[in-house]
């Protein structure tokens, strides 16, 4: 399965402010693993796909918003591995399709739209029955790939790149939506390392208990446990820029300047917020004398949608 994917490069950020604080900064470029299935997406989908195949399903059904990176990647994975895909989209259909959904359809994904209230029932047997009556049997991947298969895949993010990661990093930083990626990466680290998640939603503090639940479920399962059990992690919730998919002029300027300076494209919804947070915290001397790894979790396809909105 993995032959489709390039080993993600590790790129140093030569930032003056980092050097002044004796901070070494590296980026793990998961965005370069595959043109369509990149970032944290392959890791979240990999074991879901394996489970679907082991249970003889040839159809995947998943949920997401109209600009969802997860919908985009699931459609592409289905196409790559010969599985049918159904995307259940939150909200009303709008034509022409936006670039995310247009791509999903081009990969063979069937789309179905649910109003927000019905969409919220995605985990209920009742709604799943309605969908089964319409589409036949399918393997369900929850919104955002947020389940133990998703966590398991994310435990491999660092080891997948281990040959490149010379020496250890003291601090690892990543952006959080559901917290699945953070849970997986936490489980793969060792005790001297510290993981920081930057929620991109307003009021991201609520994620703490969601992540603790995922971790507890994983630890009580018989899934492989590649790292130490009690890793220190924290959420820094001050860099949401107004909330999920909200952008400010300051964030847009940062994204553009960062891209020019370091040749690292960032997406506005996730990685730009996390990178902004890390650079700001270095400036505030929150970090010093350490090596930091920033995980670039991809999401660049979503910029088209945001850029169209900025032009409107
Ligand atoms: C580009 C990108 N980065 C980060 C995340 C956050 O991942 P998680 O939902 O596992 O916290 C997502 C959402 O899946 C994403 O699409």
- Does residue 131 form part of some domain? yes
Residue 166, pLDDT > 70, answer no
Whether 99 and 19 share a structural domain: no
Report the pLDDT value the prediction gives residue 20, as an integer from 0 to 100: 95
Cα of 20 from ligand 1 centre, angstroms:
31
Q: What is the pLDDT confidence band of residue 165, given thresholds at 50, 70 and 90?
A: confident
Q: Among 145, 175, 207, give the residue marking a domain's end.
A: 145
Percent of the chain with pLDDT over 90: 89
Q: Which residues line ligand 1 (CB under 6 A)?
A: 39-40, 69-70, 144, 175-182, 267, 270, 297-299
Percent of the chain with pLDDT over 70: 98
Say if CB 295 and CB 185 are below 8 A apart.
yes
Whether 247 and 176 share a structural domain: yes
Report the pLDDT value the prediction gives residue 45, as an integer from 0 to 100: 98
- The number of beta carbons lying within 10 Å of the beta carbon of residue 252 is 16
Q: What is the pLDDT confidence band of residue 102, given thresholds at 50, 70 and 90?
A: very high
Report the pLDDT value the prediction gives residue 234, as an integer from 0 to 100: 98
Nearest CA to ligand 1 atom 15: 299
Whether 191 and 295 share a structural domain: yes
Whether 282 and 195 share a structural domain: yes
Instruction: Name the residue of 37, 177, 245 to mutate for ligand 1: max ligand atoms within 8 A of Cβ.
Output: 177
Q: Among 145, 172, 205, give the residue marking a domain's end.
A: 145
Report the pLDDT value the prediction gives residue 230, as an integer from 0 to 100: 75
Whether 134 and 7 share a structural domain: no
CA distance 249 to 69: 23
Q: Which domain holds residue 62?
A: 41-145
Report the pLDDT value the prediction gives residue 311, as an integer from 0 to 100: 66
Taking the CA of residue 267 as reference, the ligand 1 atom at the shortest distance is: 1
Whether 134 and 246 share a structural domain: no
Whether 59 and 207 share a structural domain: no
Whether 22 and 161 share a structural domain: yes
Whether 55 and 134 share a structural domain: yes
Q: What is the mean pLDDT of the chain?
A: 95
- Does residue 151 form part of some domain? no
CA distance 312 to 306: 10
Q: Please report where in the chains the tokens 């446990």 appear, as a residue.
A: 225
Cα of 55 from ligand 1 centre, angstroms:
27
pLDDT digits (tens, 9 = 90+) for 237-270: 999 999 999 999 999 999 999 999 999 999 999 9
Q: What is the pLDDT confidence band of residue 1, given thresholds at 50, 70 and 90?
A: low
Whether 27 and 51 share a structural domain: no
Whether 198 and 94 share a structural domain: no
Taking the CA of residue 299 as reference, the ligand 1 atom at the shortest distance is: 1
Q: Please report where in the chains the tokens 């507890």 appear, as a residue.
A: 216
The conformation of residue 62, written as its DSSP 8-state character, comes to E
pTM of the model: 0.96
Q: Among 101, 119, 145, give the residue marking a domain's end.
A: 145
For residue 161, how far is the Cα from the chain centroid?
17
Q: What is the pLDDT confidence band of residue 168, given thresholds at 50, 70 and 90?
A: confident
Q: What is the pLDDT confidence band of residue 299, given thresholds at 50, 70 and 90?
A: very high
Among 6-20, 29-43, 154-168, 196-210, the range scoring the smallest mean pLDDT is: 154-168
pLDDT digits (tens, 9 = 90+) for 128-151: 999 999 999 999 999 999 999 999
2-31: average pLDDT: 93
- Does residue 252 form part of some domain? yes
- Does residue 48 form part of some domain? yes
Tally of domains in the chain: 2
Residue 80, pLDDT > 70, answer yes
pLDDT digits (tens, 9 = 90+) for 215-227: 999 999 999 988 8
- Does residue 165 form part of some domain? yes
CATH code for the domain in which residue 102 is found? 3.40.50.1100
Whether 288 and 219 share a structural domain: yes
CA distance 7 to 24: 22
Taking the CA of residue 270 as reference, the ligand 1 atom at the shortest distance is: 3
Q: What is the pLDDT confidence band of residue 12, given thresholds at 50, 70 and 90?
A: very high
Please report which residue ranges of 92-195 form alpha helices under DSSP H. 99-106, 116-119, 125-135, 148-154, 180-188
Report the pLDDT value the prediction gives residue 223, as an integer from 0 to 100: 96
Cα of 29 from ligand 1 centre, angstroms:
14
- Does residue 152 form part of some domain? no
- Does residue 150 form part of some domain? no
Taking the CA of residue 180 as reference, the ligand 1 atom at the shortest distance is: 10
- Does residue 106 form part of some domain? yes
Instruction: Name the residue of 39, 42, 233 to mutate for ligand 1: max ligand atoms within 8 A of Cβ.
Output: 39
Report the pLDDT value the prediction gives residue 164, as an integer from 0 to 100: 72
Residue 93, pLDDT > 90, answer yes
């Amino acid at each position: 399965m993995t032959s489709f994917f390039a080993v993600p490069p590790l790129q140093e950020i030569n930032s003056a402010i980092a050097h002044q604080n004796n901070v070494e900064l590296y980026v793990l470029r998961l965005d370069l693993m595959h043109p369509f299935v990149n970032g944290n997406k392959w890791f979240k989908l990999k074991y879901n796909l394996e489970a679907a195949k082991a249970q003889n399903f040839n159809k995947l059904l998943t949920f997401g918003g109209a600009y969802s990176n997860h919908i985009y990647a699931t459609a592409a994975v289905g196409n790559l591995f010969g599985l049918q895909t159904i995307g259940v989209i939150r909200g009303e259909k709008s034509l022409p399709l936006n670039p995310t959904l247009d791509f999903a359809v081009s990969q063979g994904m069937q789309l179905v739209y649910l109003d927000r209230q019905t969409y919220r029932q995605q985990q209920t047997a009742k709604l799943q029955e309605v969908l089964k009556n319409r589409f036949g049997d399918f393997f369900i991947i929850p919104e955002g790939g947020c389940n133990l298969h998703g966590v398991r895949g994310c435990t491999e993010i660092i080891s997948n790149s281990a040959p490149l990661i010379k020496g250890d990093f003291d601090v690892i930083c990543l952006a959080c939506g559901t917290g699945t990626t953070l849970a997986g990466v936490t489980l793969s680290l060792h005790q001297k390392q510290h993981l920081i998640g930057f929620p991109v939603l307003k009021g991201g503090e609520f994620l703490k208990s969601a992540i603790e639940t995922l971790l507890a479920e994983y630890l009580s399962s018989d899934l492989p446990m590649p790292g130490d059990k009690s890793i220190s992690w924290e959420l820094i919730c001050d860099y949401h820029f107004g909330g999920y998919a909200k952008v400010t002029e300051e964030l847009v300027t940062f994204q553009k300047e960062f891209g020019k300076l370091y040749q690292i494209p960032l997406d506005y919804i996730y990685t730009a917020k996390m990178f902004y947070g890390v650079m700001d915290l270095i400036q505030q001397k929150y970090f010093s004398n350490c090596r930091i790894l920033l995980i670039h979790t991809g999401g660049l396809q979503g910029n088209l949608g945001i850029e169209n909105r900025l032009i409107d």
